[in-house]
Amino acid sequence: MESDIESLREEYEIYHQSYLWFNKNYKELAKTYMNKYVAILKDEILGVADTKEELERKFGNIKGVYIDLITSPDIIWML
């Protein structure tokens, strides 16, 4: 059981690192990948696509991958 918790913690740490890199580099990413989905692992762009599903098929089985849409910083999302 302990190894399961350690495995989850490690996966979360990698995912969090990927998320932080995405946010830190958002403006630069937006210059090239506006209105595209990007898959990030740590500090590396694994892929870019028009749909999230395409990236999930290619990279969704890699632990720690962060996938998100690049949109204009001027857009306010209301959920």
Going by C-beta distance under 8 Å and a sequence separation of 6 or more, which residues neighbour residue 2?
Answer: none
- Give tens-digit pLDDT for 43-71: 999 999 999 999 999 999 999 999 999 99
Average pLDDT over residues 15-44: 97
pLDDT of residue 77: 65
Structure tokens at 57: 């098929």
Q: What are phi and psi of 40, to 5 degrees?
A: -120, 140
Q: Phi-psi category of 17—alpha, beta or left, where left has phi over 0 and alpha has psi -120 to 50?
A: alpha
**Given a cut of 90, is residue 72 above it in pLDDT?**
no
For residues 65 and 46, the answer to whether their CB atoms sit within 8 Å is: yes
Higher pLDDT: 74 or 41? It is 41
pLDDT of residue 21: 98
Structure tokens at 4: 């399961």
Neighbours of 30 (CB within 10 A): 15
pLDDT of residue 2: 61
Q: What residue spans define the domains of the chain? A: 2-69
For residues 9 and 61, the answer to whether their CB atoms sit within 8 Å is: no
